[in-house]
Structure 1
Amino acid sequence: MSFVGHQPPPIFKRGPAPVARLFAFVAICLALLVADLRFRYLEVMRNALSVVTYPLQMAAATPADFVRNASRYFATLLEVQIENADLRRQQLTSGERLLRFELLEQENAHLRELLGMSRRVEVESIAADILYNAPDPFARKVILDRGAQQGVEPGLAVVDPKGVVGQVTRVHPVQSEVTLLTDRTQSIPVSVVRNGVRGVLFGTGRGRLEMRFVLADADIREGDQLVTSGLDGVFVPGLPVAAVVAVDRETDAFARIEATPLAAVETSVQVLVIGRTAYPPPPPPPPPAARER
């Protein structure tokens, strides 16, 4: 079989040399670049290509963005949890401080009122706190945190900023017992501020007071203010005690007069123990006729 005169197919024909083709392509590229920089004719093509390839770029970047966002989310969540815990602790601390400040303000206001009461009576006085109620369920008594070592004596009056609370009935070295004004065994001589009518107030054991042994025609009205008369030599005269709330003149020869304490007898926490201006004189001796009997 002879191959003389046979021509190879066009595909196997050798073209220009590779170096020549390289220079030709470089020249074409440079020309296109210069033309694009000068005339911007490929701008539309670039915009179209960016629009077409944008979904592919987003799809390719989604895993990395997901990982980055997830890590940022969990880091932020942890920071928020830590910050919330800190804020809750700060809130509790602030609430506790606020409660303490409010309590201190109330105590300061109460003490200022007590000092005002002390200045009004112009006698020696002892500030005290009520510790607790006496264990006797049938008596209206409280225990103070002041006793004989602080100068408390039996019989001294106990007041709050509004008026008389009770009377010291038992004294221990560092504590003392106070019988409240509303106790059924407690009595206190009083007078009406409006006209000076005198009487004796007795506790009822139910939070109220009764003014007994007052004639039915005595000039006492609802709303009258009652103060200590000082006739017993124990209570300083002029201390506010109670206000008349009801007067019944139809019972018998004596009027039935009910009053309510002016002081916060059942709820006071800080009180003032009022000293005596002078010890009461001893009672006079009985008359000769009584001695002979």
Structure 2
Amino acid sequence: MLRRHRTASVVLAVLLGHVVLISAQLTVQSGRTLLDATIFGTLSEAQRLVAGATDLVRGAWNGYVGLHTVSRTNRDLEAEVAALRLQLQEQHALVQQARGLERLLELRQSVDLDTVSARVIGADASPWFRTLTIDRGSRDLVDADLAVIAPAGVVGRVVGRPGLRAAQVQLLIDRNAAAGALIERTRAVGIVVGQDDPAVFSMEYVSNQEDVAVGDRVIASGADGIFPHGFTIGTVAEVSRGPELYKNIRVTPAVDFTRLEQVLVVMDNAGTQVAEGLR
């Protein structure tokens, strides 16, 4: 039995050998032998599969690298845009500051007043007091009860004892503040006082007989000896006849007290007059 299997194996090997020899001798249209063509076809198919897999891996890697590069580029661009926006804000702030200083200089040159320019360095807007802190003090000869003004009009007055390099300014919108005032159009005299509402003054002691209309400009009368005559205080927003002798008048401030950055401290109020163009 074992001999038969061995004989069959020998016969099969001989037959396969003949097939290989015949394949090696047969040619196809390309000029290759059938064996070469078979081997080439098998190997080329394997190479094609390997190349396809390689391209797939290379494409995925390039996509990852490209995506990483784009992400990094986007981060760089975002950082650059943020830096440019910051520079733009800084330049805008400098422009606004320069414009404010220019208006302050024009004011200083347009009035016959001895003034000292000051920068606002702090603010207090409690329900009871409304004040600013400026960077001028006793070394600059700043003292209590000196008027503080801005290009838009009256700001307030220095209160308390100034420090060496700083002083506190009571804003005219403080409910404890007051200033002599008059209606520019009719010269009706009264007193402007601060209210609990920081966006409005009350003008008091104006007779019911006086001619006052909405839109009339209210200016400092100078009668208080602190605020220079002629400086704008505000505009009449509401007016009505009072129940007794005096009108009810509400005045909108000319100064935006939330945006004050630079002011002038009036060092001497005696006999001062405001230039016509600033009235």
Do these two structures clear the TM 0.5 threshold for a shared fold by scoring above it?
yes
Give the alignment of 1:83-122 within 5 angstroms: 83-122=73-112
- Alpha-carbon shift at residue 165 of structure 1 (Å): 1.5
Once residues 135 and 237 of structure 1 are traced to their aligned partners in structure 2, the CA distance between those partners, rounded to angstroms, is: 27
Work out whether residues 147 and 156 of structure 2, in 8 Å CA contact, stay in contact via their aligned partners in 1.
Answer: yes
> Does the residue aligned with 1:143 lie in a helix, a strand or coil?
strand
Q: Please tell me whether residue 218 in structure 1 is matched to residue 234 in structure 2.
A: no
Q: Which amino acid aligns with 1:108?
A: A
In structure 2, relative to structure 1, the CA distance for the partners of 1:135 and 1:206 (3 Å cut) is: closer
Query: Structure 1 runs of 4+ off > 4 angstroms?
Result: 54-60
Q: 1:76 to 1:60 in 2, by over 3 A?
A: same
Q: CA deviation at 1:57?
A: 7.9
Structure 1 match to 2:60: 70
Say if 1:202 and 1:277 are closer, same or farther in 2 by CA, change over 3 A.
closer
| Pairwise CA distance, 1:266 | 4.0
Aligned residue for 2:139, secondary structure, equals: helix
**Bigger radius of gyration:** 1
For residue 231 of structure 2, what is the aligned residue in structure 1? 239
Residue 253 of structure 1 is matched in structure 2 by: 245
One-letter amino acid of the structure 1 residue matched with residue 148 of structure 2:
V
- Residue 186 of structure 2 aligns with an amino acid whose one-letter code is N
Question: Paired residue for 1:205, among 178, 193, 196?
Answer: 196
Q: Give structure 2 stretches of 5+ with no counterpart.
A: 1-43, 273-279
Query: Would you say 1:155 and 2:155 are equivalent positions?
Result: no
Which amino acid letter does the alignment assign opposite residue 168 of structure 2?
E
Q: CA deviation at 1:137?
A: 4.2
Quote the offset at 1:241 in angstroms: 0.6
Deviates more, 1:177-186 or 1:107-116: 107-116
RMSD: 2.9
3-state SS, counterpart of residue 219 of structure 1 = coil
Aligned residues: 230
| Map of 1:25 onto structure 2 | none
For 1:166, the aligned partner's letter is: G
- Cα deviation for residue 120 of structure 1 reads 2.6
Identity of paired residues, percent?
A: 28
- Tell me if the contact between 1:236 and 1:276 (Cα under 8 Å) persists in the aligned partners: no
The letter of the residue matching 2:65 is A
In structure 2, distance between residues paired with 1:73 and 1:190: 76
Question: Match of 1:145?
Answer: 135
Deviations 1:14-61 (A, max 9, x none): xxxxxxxxxxxxxxxxxxxxxxxxxxxxxxxxxxxxxxxx99986453
TM-score scaled to structure 2, two decimals?
0.72
- TM-score normalised by L of structure 1: 0.69
**Is 217-226 or 264-273 further displaced after alignment?**
264-273
- Once the two structures are TM-superposed, the CA of residue 279 in structure 1 deviates from its matched residue by 8.0
Offset of residue 115 of structure 1: 2.2
Q: Partner of 2:178 in structure 1? A: 187
